[in-house]
Every structure is written in C-alpha cells, then in structure tokens.
Amino acid sequence: MSFAKFVTKNRIKMGLSRRQLSILSNIQLLRIHRIEEGRKLYANEVTRLAKGLGVSESEILVRVDQDYEEKVEEERKRTLQQALERMQNEKN
C-alpha cells in the first residue's frame, strides 16, 4: 500500500475529512491534499501527521520507507525493461 493510500485509509477509518485532519495535525489543508496525492512528506510533518491520524511516528516512517522502496523497485524494473527493448531493437 502506498503511503498516500495509508494516510487516506486511516483518515477515512477515523471518520475525518481532510479539513479535520488538517486541524488535528496542524498541517495546511493543501499539504494534506498533496500528501494524499502521493507527494513527499516533509520531516517536520511526521510527528504532526502521526498525531492527527492517531498512529505512531514509527508507523508513519515505516510506511514512507516502504513506499520509497516500492518506487525504487518499479523504476529499476522499468529501466531494465527499457534496456532489454533497446538490445532487442539493436539486434533487428
């Protein structure tokens, strides 16, 4: 599960709107929007977002790390596929 989905899922599970999460976490509404769209989370937002979602900071950081690892793996696969396609095109 992506970090963005984790935030959205937990917000909805708590019955919160984005505005309510914004107030509880003291993070601007636009930033909540962007975080849920998959934009990066700034270090100074970790504690506040954890508080707003009712989860630990470590859970937030684990999710961010998992999301990063998934993105790196996707990029690695994409790069490998492109290299294989170039090699096949050079053979033909």
Q: 64 or 15, which is more confident?
A: 15
- The domain spanning residue 66 has which CATH number? 1.10.260.40
68 Cβ neighbours under 8 A, 6+ residues apart: none
* 14-16-21-22 Cα dihedral, nearest 10 degrees: 180
Q: Exposure of 65 by Cβ count < 10 A (0-12 exposed, 13-18 middle, 19+ buried)?
A: exposed
Q: Using DSSP, state whether 2 is helix, strand or coil.
A: coil
Q: Please give the residue range of the domain that contains residue 7.
A: 3-91
Residue 82 has, within 13 A of its CA and on its CB side, a CA count of 6
Please tell me the total count of domains within the chain. Answer: 1
Q: Which amino acid is at 48?
A: R
- Averaged pLDDT, 2-13: 90
Model pLDDT for residues 62-81, shown as the tens digit of each residue:
887 787 788 888 889 999 89
- Averaged pLDDT, 35-55: 91
